[in-house]
């Protein structure tokens, strides 16, 4: 419920921050996010209406997929960068590795069940550009306003890409 307020606050108060929204699931979410200052959009899935709204928003976006047919459908529509969700439940690294040969033009940001321990295996795949995971911002740390812990976890995650 506080997502749009948080996006507004970060966009206004944290110079240099790039803030966006995940779990964008409707054209209204797209509009609200961009109006609040969001600079990217991520969705767990997609429909033609949602894809059209994300394309028209003027910011980078990642529509979500979990099947080969969804990947092919997005490729047909000119989209090659996608969220793979829920990554672990949908086949994980083995699934993405299997997609890399027949669909080398597709690039993924897997999320869903990924941890600091499993992220390197995803990042080693040729069709994975980045990973996402809630392990970087655990709810208990946020509730306790333990920003030192959040900063440490974010630094550990960032080091994976180094």
| pLDDT tens-digit series, residues 12-38 | 998 898 999 989 999 999 999 999 999
Average pLDDT, 10 consecutive residues per value, the chain (162 residues): 92 92 96 97 98 98 98 98 98 98 98 95 96 88 87 87 64
What gap in Å lies between CA 83 and CA 96, rounded to an integer? 11
> SS3 of 82, please?
strand
pLDDT single digits (tens) 122-139: 999 999 999 998 888 888
């Amino acid at each position: 419920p506080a997502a749009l307020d948080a996006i507004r606050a970060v966009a206004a108060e944290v110079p240099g921050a790039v803030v966006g929204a995940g779990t964008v699931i409707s054209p209204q979410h797209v509009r609200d996010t961009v109006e609040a200052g969001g600079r990217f959009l991520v969705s767990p899935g997609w429909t033609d209406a949602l894809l059209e709204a994300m394309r028209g928003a003027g910011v980078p976006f990642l529509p979500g997929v979990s099947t080969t047919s969804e990947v092919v459908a997005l490729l047909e529509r000119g989209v090659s960068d996608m969220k793979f969700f829920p990554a672990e439940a949908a086949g994980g690294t083995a699934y993405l590795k299997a997609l890399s040969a027949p669909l080398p033009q597709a690039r993924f940001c897997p999320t869903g069940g990924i941890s600091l321990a499993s992220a390197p295996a995803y990042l080693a795949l040729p069709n994975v550009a980045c990973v996402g995971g809630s392990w970087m911002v655990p709810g208990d740390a946020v509730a306790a306003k333990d920003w030192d812990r959040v900063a440490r976890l974010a630094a550990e995650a960032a080091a994976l890409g180094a």
